[in-house]
Amino acid sequence: MRVIGGTARQRRLSAPDLPDLRPTSDRVREAIFDILASLGAVEGASVLDAYAGSGALGIEALSRGASSVCLVEADRRAIAAIRANLDSTGFGASPAVRVVRADVFEFLAREAGTRYDLALVDPPYSFDGWPSLLELLEADLGVLETSAPVALGDRFLVRREYRYGGTLVTLVEARGPGRHDPRTTEKDTV
């Protein structure tokens, strides 16, 4: 694994060997961030990396100019890997970075009212709490990484879906005035 673009481009990242940890492949990460860059959604953004794992998504956002990134992960071994990856990419001492060891649901409930420009959400594929999670999530734009479509509830609309082998990347946006029309949802398979 490596950082794909930005100021930390080509820096190597490590991931702990954990049963439910499935780091986003370089190919999928590159595609996600190319899509986000085309929307102007990363540079200057406040970003939440939920279920951060190795921190690769959050670090990619930092490398590409996010103004702040909050990485949330429950596993202490994953937190150690995140901190090591932040140090190796030069972001370890940055005041723009917050690493939180917590259950994502508990974190979102505790931080209610904190809104992010962008949320990167990549739980294990067996995760089945999407409606509850999205009810708590405060973000304008979200990237959901799953193996199959998820029920979004009433707070988000699907903007686009992209299939990369067994990975489904769903780009969602918060409902609100002037937001995306759900009848124009687009799907791409790569």
Return the pLDDT at 19: 67
pLDDT tens-place string over residues 37-70: 999 999 999 999 999 999 999 999 999 999 999 9
Handedness of CA 74, 160, 4, 141 (dihedral sign): negative
Which regions of the chain are under pLDDT 50? Answer: 178-186, 189-190
Query: Quick one: DSSP state of residue 23?
Result: P
Supply the pTM of this predicted model.
0.87
Beta-carbon contacts of 134 under 8 Å, excluding residues fewer than 6 positions away, are 142, 152, 153, 155, 156, 172
Return the pLDDT at 182: 38
Domains (range + CATH), the chain: 26-155+164-189 (3.40.50.150)
Cα(7)–Cα(153) distance, integer angstroms: 37
Return the pLDDT at 21: 67
Cα(4)–Cα(13) distance, integer angstroms: 11
What are residue 138's phi and psi, to 5 degrees? Answer: -110, 95
Cα(177)–Cα(123) distance, integer angstroms: 29
- Whose CA is closest to 139, among 120, 161, 162? 120
